[in-house]
Amino acid sequence: MGGLTFVVSGKMFIGILKDKKRQEDRLMVCVRKLNYKELLQKSESKSMDFTGKPLRGFLFIEPNGFESEDDLDY
């Protein structure tokens, strides 16, 4: 994958991955069904897609979505 991920009970819940096109770090977050559709509407959230088919329940969070403590709390 080329990033750093954190796993609990064999399941990834958060990670950091370098966006090779823009040379920026972004978060990979597992939200499952919790509030996936709501979070996907936020401008800093993108569907997690490695193969052309998005992984439901997983999001990429762009840098402006985790710059501040408030962003991370959300």
- Provide CB contacts within 8 A for 49, sequence distance 6+: 55
Q: What percent of the chain has pLDDT over 90?
A: 1
Q: Domain range spanning residue 41?
A: 3-73
Mean pLDDT across the chain: 84
**At residue 69, does pLDDT exceed 60?**
yes
Read off φ and ψ for residue 42, nearest 5 degrees. -75, 140
| Model confidence, pTM | 0.75
Residue 54, CB-side half-sphere exposure with 13 Å CA sphere: 15
pLDDT at 66: 84
Short-list 60, 53, 57, 71, CA closest to 24: 60
Q: What percent of the chain has pLDDT over 70?
A: 97
The domain total for the chain is 1
**At residue 43, does pLDDT exceed 60?**
yes
pLDDT at 14: 86
- Provide CB contacts within 8 A for 15, sequence distance 6+: 1, 3, 4, 5, 6, 27, 28
